[in-house]
Structure 1
Amino acid sequence: MPTFHITVHNEDFTSSDDYECACNEEALKQGIKSAIAIASDQVSSGKPFFGAEMTLEQGNKQLIRYIVAIGASPLKAQ
């Protein structure tokens, strides 16, 4: 199975790991899931917004870049 390198980073941190995935599409899904998991932790810890770049590489070749953003804001009671 091919190995893909997934990196999630913004101005505050960098997280990267290698994953074995059957194809590019599976690796892309894993990368987005990883970024959303980090975003969920950040937003539920009190940050109103999380945004980061997710990159997917195979060997020395960059395959794709995504921006993942999640926010939470209270609504004013009526």
Structure 2
Amino acid sequence: MKICEEILRKGNLNAALLELYKCKSLHRQALELLHKLVDESRSSQSEITQRFKPEDIVEYLKVTFFLKTLCSFS
């Protein structure tokens, strides 16, 4: 896990890193990364290749809540 995380970070593969966190139920790390990416997206000096918006955090929370709710009823 740590090796994958390091490779994705070095390659600026943030969407893949978010997906890894989501699949591993590392929601705190995913939300912290999303928060950081939203802040960096607002900066004109940012080196990230994909822009992130506050709505991405809301969408992540909606999907996570939906999956938790779905699993609790199965």
Shorter-chain TM-score range: 0.3 to 0.5
Quick check: which one's helix share is greater? Answer: 2
The structure whose RCO (Cα within 8 Å, separation 6+) is larger is 1
Greater CA radius of gyration, 1 or 2? 1
Quick check: which one's strand share is greater? Answer: 1
What TM-score do the two structures reach when normalised by structure 2?
Answer: 0.37
What TM-score do the two structures reach when normalised by structure 1?
Answer: 0.36
